Amino acid sequence: MSATSRGFIRAFTVSLSSSPPPPLHSSNSTATVVSRFLGAGRRLLPLPPCFALSRSLRTAVSPRRDSDLAAVISSNKHKGQKKWKAKKNQNGSSMMEGTSSSTTDTIIEQLTELSISGTPVNEPSATIQFGNVVQNQTSVPGLKTAWEPRSYGTTTVDVQSLPGNQINVGNQTDAATVTEKKSIDLSAAFRPDLLESFNVDNTTYSHAQIRATFYPKFENEKSDQEVRARMIEMVSRGLATLEVSLKHSGSLFMYAGHEGGAYAKNSFGNIYTAVGTFVLGTMFHESWGALASKKQADFNEFLENNRMCVSMELVTAVLGDHGQRPKEDYVVVTAVTELGHGKPRFYSTPEIITFCREWRLPTNHVWLFSTRKSVTSFFAAFDALCEEGTATPVCKALDEVADISVPGSKDHIKSQGEILEGLVARIVSRESSKHMEDVLRNFSIPPVDEAGLELGPNLREICAANRSDEKQQVKALLEIVGSSFCPDTVDWFGQEAGDRSRTADKSVLTKFLQAHPADYSTKKLQEIVRLMREKRFPAAFKCYYNFHKVDSLSKDNLFYRMVIHVHSDSAFRRYQKEMRHNPQLWPLYRGFFVDINLFKANKERAAELAKASNITYKVNGSSDTLVSNDLADEDANLMIKLKFLTYKLRTFLIRNGLSVLFKEGPSAYRNYYLRQMNIWGTSAAKQRELSKMLDEWAVFIRRKCGNKQLSSDLYLSEAEPFLEQYAKRSPANQALIGSAGNLVRSEDFLAIIEGVDEEGDLGRDHVVASSTPVPAKETVAKQDGLIVFFPGIPGCAKSALCKEILTAGGLGDDRPVHSLMGDLIKGRYWQKIAEERRKKPYSIILADKNAPNEEVWRQIEDMCRSTRASAVPVIPDSEGTDSNPFSIDALAVFIFRVLQRVNHPGSLDKASPNAGYVLLMFYHLYEGKDRKLFEAELMDRFGSLVKMPLLKSDRNPLPDPAKSVLEEGINLYKLHVGRHGRLESTKGTYANEWAKWEKKLRETLLSNAEYLNDIQVPFEFAAGKVLEQLKEVAKGDFSTPSAERKKLGTIFFAAVSLPVSEVQNLITNISKTNTNVQAFIKDKRLDETLTKAHVTLAHKRSHGVVAVANYGQFLNRQFPVELTAFLFSDKLAALEARLGSIDGEKVDSLNEWPHVTVWFGQGASAKDANTLPQLLLQGKANRVEIDPPSVVSGEVRFF
């Protein structure tokens, strides 16, 4: 999973309904018991009916229908393993006959090659489909309702009682018949003209209900180093606890009951949700045995009645490769959410564990750190393991340093394997440790009923036997999971023809926003959608018919399900800024599914609804944060994702690099993986090892596959055997790879995925949010060349600036300066620059051409590596917007400058009929990056950054007419590109609109010429500042104008660092009073060779990761160190050390003899200094006492 991007994954679902909202059911007597464990005053999870059942033989729930078992449970005396056994049909044959374990290999051999189409995942092909309506669905004769789940909204106002569409699922054949009947009725129920004829007036209301949700995506404003420091500070002061959980590598799956729906990150009704439903159903059979079907039905009813959603990490081998193919297909619960009272309430981790243990659902491994010692040790342990860590050593280390360790019911090592994606660390309530202890003491791990279980075909066998298309696999999975858990497949199949109408999408959304909100939740959800549309956030609003509400459908009562698909993480960052200005906004959740009900109300009901829209609910007090405490939002939402190199090697460097390798060749691939490792801050030694391995991989896979690119879904089929063989060559290679071997062959059962990875982590990750950023380069070697280039927009004054540099005679050294103007170069400009670099390798080249994208930046990087040059980007200084590094004010100035040009060599001047369009095209080449991200990427790639002053800081705001005309052009540009791509503006559907806009643009900017001239920094001043910075770069004295970026690196050992000058002076003073020492150091040149001095405390190779990590509590603290003696032999010399205390606690070294190595001769090493006491006893070394001892100040550091 990518990363990511994914410690918390996007997902949020909302439901619009006109049903009355009774109070949330909480009558279960066990809730009183749990309240004593989770703290008074906290709003507790409503406990499921099965609580009493798990403690006694009494039935704590109302009688339910008798459901068929989805699988017939029987005993196989010849096999000790659990297997799914399909239910027999009426003819007595199995629905999956021929797929038992004994015949699986035969089936697999007959399967054809997998073919994955390119249909986007956000438009599922086997989801909800629409057709014309002839009549409303009638009730099905002979069916009786088993129970009526209550509908829960967000107010107590009686909106309208809507009948459910419940069926008796006691007989699987009957359920199938009903499904077939419903499909026919659905086809007749939804007519496009129903929406068209639904007019919004003063009696129109909309009701929104959240159906499923995952945590909102919070972006830390500070660097990872600052976040870690703040986390340590908060825990040290007793304000919070740090919670750490394993990141299983899979896909997000959310389940809200059989009617509430099953959801992936940004979609529903497809293979992802079918697989998730099947695997979750399997978990019930594994944990409940013969009671599984009943518990499945109880679970569905519990989620429906209490309007709850359970979010899980879905880990399978059938949905494409991540870091390692799992040994088992499973889910792990990551969040439980109450949706019945307005804003979603997320359960705390103790509550999640309680919930899961009562329902026997799989839980994750969690650690809690509540003291300074434990939290500093955690971060130190990660830094020591980040480049080599796998599941076993990571879990072992965290178990030792954590204050509380709660093992997951699904063991990562046994279920997924050794390759661990990462850890998710977040700040939680300081009471979490106490609550967790209470839960662990009072809610034991539930038993597993494995007696005589034989389960039918498993997930992999089902997918292997149904390879024709996605729909066939979905159908097979849902049939076998059984009617107890999935009595209705309408979300997957709906009707058999038609598709989502784009016209309906827009009109549903428009009418939803125009209608009066039926309650407070609807009002807040409308607020979110309006804001996202007004601010043009990168998101799609897709609406589908809600087939679950077919019985309630009428011309004045319409039901839809809306998916708000956020396309870029920049939207979350921008939304967070809006929340800072308006704290009353509800969060933007990751993914976003909303059920919409549009209906008419009479005057009496309208008055009641008006009151309802102002009723608010407090969830966890009034906090908008993920934890209920008194912390500020910026602290309460602190979270950091920490990934391991052994996982990133496979996903980012191998899988995501396949496209570069096969399309652009080995050289581009090498640049790609080196850039990634630089962004991550990978140690130099590890970079050398990985480079050697990845170069060998590139040769191997291209030789094997030729020009046909290896599928990213199946890349481990080739990568895993290669890594396994590479690891066997040496222990160092084994440490580099982490773990390899025992490959699971998913080619034989991979699900037919008609689109890209649902997790969205297969794309090339150009900018990686790293926990180990690269420090800025400090010098540019004068004997090397230099490329000055301009990531800007026409009108940013780059040509004029190049002339100023040439006029100034260069950059202050003897390197010749050449300028190549892009408008005068025929052919490929950057290829010409590369040729000039080869001809004049020591020159400074001014690349007078806009360099707006990563493709150009990559070419410049290639030139730097191949011709021994450095590159320096020069950018206009601008505040930028939330999604673009250049502000609207800057864009106005650039266009204004272009329109002042006459006879421009590139013909982009006042005579150009589409100058405005060209500027907008360049402007949008930077879209998706805010200023901070833009500068960070340039710094990561090139190490230096020069900013050219552009606008005065005390300027007045851009006049409204100028701002309006630019926004109009931006909107027109998006329409044009959406329909015509890169077609010129003088052609296509919007040619007339462009002509009118270009004229209006000129008139508007000309009328504001005085303002646009006045707000600019004088060019002479700006050019002088740039020249000054470039000269500093050329001589190596330049420091980046960005904030300091401290390095987080791999830890090998902990030590006390001592000032070298004081150590050198001490040895010199000893030699003055001791002739033997004087003779010894005479030819040693210690003033040159002794550059570092430290006392080793612990080394991870000798003493273990935890031993090193435990010194984290003393990190960067200074304390006294006494140097008591000088020992030397013919090949070694060291100072004996005695360590002092910090805050009254003695700092001890784990070495038997604490010392400072000051010299070693040929054939010896620094660690050999440990033997000096033994050599002294053998008469092979000398000792000179230092009396009184010399006291120096030392500082604890990690190296």
**What would the two tokens of residue 981 be?**
């791509």
Q: What is the DSSP code (8-state) at residue 125?
A: T
DSSP-assigned letters across all residues of 363-374: ---EEEE-SHHH
What residues pair up with 848 in beta bridges, in sequence order? 821
DSSP-assigned letters across all residues of 425-438: EEEE-TTHHHHHHH
What residues pair up with 845 in beta bridges, in sequence order? 787, 818
Spatial contact of 610 and 516, defined as CB atoms under 8 Å apart: yes
| Cα 663 from chain centroid (whole Å) | 26
What is the C-alpha to C-alpha distance for residues 349 and 443, in angstroms, rounded to an integer? 14
For 650, counting Cβ atoms within 10 Å of its Cβ (0-12 exposed, 13-18 middle, 19+ buried), the class is buried
For 796, counting Cβ atoms within 10 Å of its Cβ (0-12 exposed, 13-18 middle, 19+ buried), the class is buried
Active site residue 247: yes
What is the C-alpha to C-alpha distance for residues 245 and 249, in angstroms, rounded to an integer? 13
Spatial contact of 940 and 679, defined as CB atoms under 8 Å apart: yes
What is the C-alpha to C-alpha distance for residues 302 and 1080, in angstroms, rounded to an integer? 82
Q: What is the DSSP code (8-state) at residue 654?
A: I
DSSP-assigned letters across all residues of 1086-1144: HHHH----EEEEEEHHHH-HHHHHGGGGGTT-EEEEEEEEEEE-SSEEEEEEEE-EETT
**What would the two tokens of residue 958 be?**
């851009």
Question: Helix, strand, or coil here: 452?
Answer: coil
**What would the two tokens of residue 661 be?**
């390798």
For 372, counting Cβ atoms within 10 Å of its Cβ (0-12 exposed, 13-18 middle, 19+ buried), the class is middle
How far the first Cα of the chain sits from its last, in Å, is 31
**What would the two tokens of residue 609 be?**
């609804």
Which residue out of 82, 182, 217, 247 is catalytically annotated? 247
What H or E segment, with its residue span, contains residue 1156? strand 1155-1160
Question: Helix, strand, or coil here: 447?
Answer: coil
CA atoms within 13 A on the CB side of 1117: 17
DSSP-assigned letters across all residues of 458-525: -HHHHHHH--S-HHHHHHHHHHHH-TTT-S--HHHHS-SS----HHHHHHHHHHHHHSEESSHHHHHH
What is the C-alpha to C-alpha distance for residues 519 and 243, in angstroms, rounded to an integer? 36
Query: For residues 301, 303, 307 and 311, what is the CA-based torsion angle, rounded to 10 degrees?
Result: -160
Spatial contact of 1149 and 1098, defined as CB atoms under 8 Å apart: yes
Question: Among residues 79, 82, 77, 78, which one has the least CA distance to residue 453?
Answer: 82
What is the C-alpha to C-alpha distance for residues 658 and 697, in angstroms, rounded to an integer? 11
State the SS3 of 871-908. Answer: EEEEEECCCCCCCCCCCHHHHHHHHHHHCCCCCCCCCC
Q: Sign of the C-alpha dihedral, residues 131, 137, 141, 143?
A: positive
Q: How far is CA 513 from CA 152, 159, 200, 206, 520, in A?
A: 22, 19, 10, 8, 14
Position 889, amino acid: D
| Cα 735 from chain centroid (whole Å) | 26
Please state the length of the chain: 1199
Token pair 């409940």 is found at 288
Strand-strand pairing, 422-428 and 404-406:
unpaired
Token pair 């007019």 is found at 199
Token pair 């400072």 is found at 1156
Kindly list the catalytic residues.
247
